[in-house]
Amino acid sequence: MVNPQHRTFLSQAYILLVLLFLYAPIAVLIIFSFNNLRSTSVWGGFSFRWYKELLQDRQILSALYYTLTIAILSSIISAIAGTVAAIGIHRMHPLARRIILAINNVPVLNPDIVTGVSLMTLFTALRLRLGFTTLLLSHITFNIPYVVLCILPRLRQIPKEVTEAAMDLGATPTYVFFHVILPEIRSAIFTGFLIAFTLSVDDFVISFFTTGSGVNNLPIVVYSMARRGINPKINAVSTLLFITVFCLLMIINKRDANIQKLEV
């Protein structure tokens, strides 16, 4: 028999090794983003040199503008469309609900490269010029399923009697939605918005196939910079992206924890 204390120690050691394997490269990247030298192996002193050069790089600033614009617009539209879709799915017949949910889960489970090529083929068939519009539409497309999956569990927790009682008291469907349903699912909508924003900022594969010349997001620019060789500005950009995504995930986890405490 294994001693419970030894089992706990081995479990913690295993988790520590996994975390070390996952985050050690990111830690090295962040550290060398403050290196005064171009080298990624020799430390030349602490400096913000590459961050300063980053802010003077027009290509990166343009990519940052498109990244944030696409992420904000696609997240807002996805949150609205996903909310309406989730409510519609929730009110469907059980069989129809299972079928629609299976269709909704296809973009989530589908490889990004398949989704990207499919969207590119669709836009080309519709004679849409690849650029800002197609990039925005593609981000909305792969964000909506995640928003739906965030909101549906919250809708299931709302007692059916609550909405029925409001309707019996003379409330219109519009009033019930804005004053009964929306306050209950507001936190889920915000979580879906943050997840959509994170996915949009982070996406490379789908964006690569659905954008045109002159419209690039940060992941595409980082990829093109990396192909030309080691550039310390890549470390700085990657560090900022990591910090942004990490902060958003912390906000999501904090909100989920607060919601669970309130429910308990």
Reported as a single tens digit per residue, the pLDDT across 41-63 is 778 788 888 888 888 888 888 88
**Residues 164-186: what's their mean pLDDT?**
82
* pLDDT tens-place string over residues 185-236: 888 898 899 889 989 988 899 999 999 888 888 888 888 877 777 678 888 8
Q: What pLDDT was estimated at residue 264?
A: 53
Task: Say if residue 28's pLDDT is above 80.
Answer: yes
Domain ranges of the chain: 57-263
pLDDT value of position 81: 95
Q: Are 218 and 68 in contact (CB under 8 A)?
A: no
Q: Which residue has the higher pLDDT, 258 or 104?
A: 104
User: Which pair of structure tokens corresponds to residue 81?
Assistant: 């469309």
Q: How many residues does the chain have?
A: 264
The end-to-end CA distance of the chain, in Å, is 37
Query: Which tokens sit at 97?
Result: 């609900």
pLDDT exceeds cutoff 80 at 6:
no
pTM, to two decimals: 0.81
What is the chain's mean pLDDT, rounded? Answer: 85
Q: Which two tokens stand for residue 153?
A: 């569990």
Give residue 262's pLDDT band: very low, low, confident or very high (50, 70, 90).
Answer: low
Helix (H, G, I), strand (E, B) or coil at 35: strand
Task: Enter the DSSP assignment of 44.
Answer: -
Higher pLDDT, 10 or 117: 117
One DSSP character per residue, 212-241 reads -TT---HHHHHHHHHHT---HHHHHHHHHH
* Model pLDDT, residue 209: 92
Q: What CATH code would you report for 57-263? A: 1.10.3720.10
> Average of pLDDT values for 124-142?
92
Whole-angstrom distance, CA of residue 246 vs CA of residue 70: 19
- Whether residue 145 is predicted with pLDDT greater than 90 in this model: the reply is yes
Cα-based angle 167, 149, 123 (whole degrees, multiple of 5): 110
> How far apart are alpha carbons 77 and 143 in whole angstroms?
9
On the question of pLDDT at 256 being above 80, the answer is no
